[in-house]
Amino acid sequence: MIDLLTFGETMAAFRADQPLRLGGNLRLSIAGAEATVAIGAARLGHRARYVGRVGPDEFGLLITRTLKAEGVDIRQVSRCAAPTGFIVFEPRIADVVRVTYRRTGSAGSTMDAPDLERALADGARVLHATGITAALGEGPLRAVRAAVTNASDAGSVPSAST
């Protein structure tokens, strides 16, 4: 049994050093509450598993490589035909940052309840779910409902964040 199971959409994250219209540099990393929680748990020495979907693109490879390098179990991450979503952080003025999401039709938005069946069958002490995942569409909402119901029936402790 693993310590933490989390699931949802992890995106490629572009962080600009100035407003995009002025050009400048973009730094590439990953973003998403579920990945952040999984990485944090793994860094603390817990066995963490992330379940999600990524696209057949370099962003999907970046996400899986990063999670694996951080010690997160990614065996339940699947690839699909949809592109990996991304987010852009753009400084505007002073401490104001504009955030732009490109996740409509993304790989993460195609997740559904069956994506979690194998992961939940292995058991987990804690299930981490977010409202963000439920808001991505009907499939992700079904996945959240099924995960919470199945984890509760299996005795996992539910954890949620927004």
pLDDT for 156 equals: 63
Compute the CA torsion angle 61, 81, 36, 24 (nearest 10 deg): 70
For residue range 19-57, list pLDDT tens digits in order.
Answer: 999 998 999 999 999 999 999 999 999 999 999 999 999
| Chain segment 84-102, per-residue pLDDT in tens | 999 999 999 888 999 999 9
Q: Is the pLDDT reported for residue 60 higher than 70?
A: yes
Position 160 pLDDT exceeds 60: no
Helix (H, G, I), strand (E, B) or coil at 65: helix
Is the per-residue pLDDT at 152 higher than 80? no
C-alpha dist (Å) from residue 147 to 55, 62, 153: 22, 26, 10
List pLDDT tens digits, range 122-151.
889 999 999 999 999 999 999 999 998 887
Q: What is the pLDDT of residue 154?
A: 60
φ, ψ for residue 138 (rounded to 5)?
-65, -45
pLDDT at 52 (0 to 100): 97
Q: How confident is the model at residue 117 (pLDDT cuts 50, 70, 90)?
A: confident
> How far is Cα 16 from Cα 72, in angstroms, rounded to an integer?
27
Q: Is the dihedral of CA 141, 142, 146, 149 positive or negative?
A: positive
Task: Please tell me which residue, 52 or 152, carries the higher pLDDT value.
Answer: 52
Q: How far is CA 56 from CA 36, 53, 81, 107, 147, in A?
A: 22, 10, 6, 9, 25
pTM (two decimals): 0.91
* pLDDT surpassing 70 at residue 159: no
